Structure 1
Amino acid sequence: MNMETPTLGGLSATDPAALLAAVRQANAGTPHPRLREVLDALIRHVHAFALEVDLTPAELDLGLDFLVRIGQASGPHKNEGILLADILGLATLVQLRGARQALAQGGTEPALVGPFWRAQQPLRASGDSIATPDTPGAPLHVRGRVASLDGRPLAGARVETWQASPKGLYENQDPAQQDMNLRGAFLTDAQGRFDFHSVRPAGYPVPIDGPCGELLAAQGRGAMRPAHLHFIVVAPGHKVLATQFFDIEDPHAHEDVVFGAVGSLLRHFEADGQGGFGLDLDLRLEPGETRLPHCPLP
């Protein structure tokens, strides 16, 4: 019986370099050039990771089981995969890298979409409230202007916003809230302006009842996000802006579990002297292809 060591490309299959070369060669025929490029980088980095930490078969099984459970824990009320990218800082990294040219020209800093954006958020008139009358919390008046990088106002831009209640829950997490509470979409006027009323949001923990919660516990990390409002801004001829604005007075303002509270996105919610607060926003969009991000919830 031939007991020779199997070979890959003429080299011993027990040689990690030979195995890596064989796997990369198998990917070399991938027709789509960008997919081929991404997979090649992924293969190289995954193999290098396994060698660096001397990954054991048991650890590999544990990691693969973790990924399977990430998928199983996702559903109509949360997306555990998005949450994983968030708590590892990957989503923030990709957002900031994608906007680096716009940021150099005064564009608004992006922030992750997160797992709680919903499709079909109700279109409301400028000046309306996104909060139902029974929503507790201090009044908040948000005024904004949408413009291109050169300062030109963008009329008819669609501004979507959503936030957690002062209890720290989005309405899809909270049976006590009316459907689509604290959510809305607005169209900017000829000067690119929009405004709406709401309540001052509160910070909240990300969901910890799934695999991501287990990971945070294993790391000894907290799960809190500082109080914030989400925005997605869509204007023809411009790249879609997804961002968030954070309450700088929140105790967790500088320890966001998903690393999204950065730079100018930390804001003072200004007291109006009557028990309420105001927030003024200038949203600058980069010209380019208008491509909506994936919406995680119906």
Structure 2
Amino acid sequence: MTDTSFHDEVTAKAAESGANATGLFLDRVHSGTGGEVDHARVSLLAGKAIKALNDLIVEEKLTYTEYNALKAWLIKVGEDGEWPLFLDVWLEHSVEEVASAHREGSKGTIEGPYYSENAPTLPWNGTIPMRDDEPGTPLLFTGQVRAVDGTPLGGAKVELWHADDLGFYSQFAPGVPEWNLRGTFIADENGTFAITTKRPAPYQIPTEGACGVLIDAAGWHAWRPAHLHFKISNPGYELITTQLYFPGDPHNDDDIAGAVKPELMLEPRATEDGSGEIAEYDFILDPE
């Protein structure tokens, strides 16, 4: 029987989450899904990055005290397994912007460090895996997957994952069932879907590790607004990785990950019986 006390989940530590994120990312890269970069690009990009850092050192007259603090912090990022978290929070939004600039369809945004492949496959009108007493407001999420020319994309794959009402992700926090709030939904012949889940909560990225040290030293906040993660795919079309957000969240305008876009805002409404919410959103795919 699943322990639903939520005690282990609430006491999750950044190091545990970081280690899991690092392990899953490396598994994906080693399986061949990470892609390859040619030597000329490595030379160009690494050279520019190193030059930019050296220019910054000279311009800001970096002291040895600051330099040694940087070295110690970089070592701690590795020890805490937080490179995926650091890169996905502070750099991925720019990578995504470049990668998606050509698209005419739906807007994308960052994947983040908490994606996991092979979530359970469910029908177009299914309920995402969750605990019997999963906290949070019930949410029915509906929409349609179409091509940019308006063609409905029957059988499109809609992958959804998100944090729970406490701000934790399954597979990255202890005490949470493996596939909790993670599912792959197959759209019907008209490209439509209707997914039953729970509204997620805003959360702080882990702050007990190296990323938290940086946040504290810089006087930043660690909050991400509540959001739903998606990957939308169909043969012959470009995959979309995106997130959808909820109006009124205090961190929509200062998301630490810089991932919020106005086109990704939902407009949820209360159900007729007041027992939950309904949100609608259509995904538009570009051809490959």
1:81 to 80, 83, 87: 83
Tell me which residue corresponds to 1:56.
63
Cα distance change, pair 256–180 in 1 and its aligned pair in 2 (3 A): same
- Matches of 1:84 and 1:281, distance apart in 2: 30
Report if the CA contact (8 A) 1:234-1:240 is conserved. Answer: yes
Tell me which residue corresponds to 1:257.
256
Report if the CA contact (8 A) 2:123-2:187 is conserved. Answer: no
Secondary structure of the structure 1 residue equivalent to 2:171: helix
Moved more, 91-100 or 152-161: 152-161
Report if the CA contact (8 A) 2:89-2:112 is conserved. Answer: no
Tell me which residue corresponds to 1:163.
162
Cα distance change, pair 34–155 in 1 and its aligned pair in 2 (3 A): farther
Moved more, 195-204 or 232-241: 232-241
Tell me which residue corresponds to 1:109.
107
Q: Which runs of 5+ in 1 are unaligned?
A: 1-30, 75-79, 289-298
Report if the CA contact (8 A) 1:96-1:109 is conserved. Answer: no
The Cα shift of 1:280 comes to 1.0
Cα distance change, pair 196–39 in 1 and its aligned pair in 2 (3 A): same
Secondary structure of the structure 2 residue equivalent to 1:113: coil
Secondary structure of the structure 2 residue equivalent to 1:171: coil
Tell me which residue corresponds to 1:189.
188
Aligned amino acid, residue 142 of structure 1: F
Tell me which residue corresponds to 1:124.
122
Give percent identity, aligned residues only: 32
The C-alpha deviation readout for 1:222-280, integer Å capped at 9, x for no partner, is 11111111001222222221110011122322221211122111222211132211111
Cα distance change, pair 34–238 in 1 and its aligned pair in 2 (3 A): farther
1:95 equivalent in alignment to 2:100: no
The Cα shift of 1:70 comes to 1.3
Secondary structure of the structure 2 residue equivalent to 1:47: helix
Tell me which residue corresponds to 1:202.
201
Tell me which residue corresponds to 1:235.
234
The Cα shift of 1:176 comes to 4.0
Tell me which residue corresponds to 1:140.
139
Tell me which residue corresponds to 1:32.
39
Cα distance change, pair 34–197 in 1 and its aligned pair in 2 (3 A): same
- Matches of 1:125 and 1:49, distance apart in 2: 53
Report if the CA contact (8 A) 2:266-2:280 is conserved. Answer: no
Tell me which residue corresponds to 2:49.
42
Aligned amino acid, residue 227 of structure 2: H
- Matches of 2:39 and 2:89, distance apart in 1: 30
Report if the CA contact (8 A) 1:156-1:235 is conserved. Answer: yes
Report if the CA contact (8 A) 2:126-2:185 is conserved. Answer: no
Cα distance change, pair 166–238 in 1 and its aligned pair in 2 (3 A): same
Secondary structure of the structure 1 residue equivalent to 2:201: coil
Cα distance change, pair 41–173 in 1 and its aligned pair in 2 (3 A): closer
Report if the CA contact (8 A) 1:144-1:282 is conserved. Answer: yes
The Cα shift of 1:204 comes to 1.0
- Matches of 1:144 and 1:250, distance apart in 2: 22
TM-score by length of 1: 0.77
Tell me which residue corresponds to 1:285.
285
1:151 equivalent in alignment to 2:150: yes
- Matches of 2:67 and 2:154, distance apart in 1: 52
The Cα shift of 1:57 comes to 3.7
Q: Which runs of 5+ in 2 are unaligned?
A: 1-37
TM-score by length of 2: 0.80
Tell me which residue corresponds to 1:25.
none
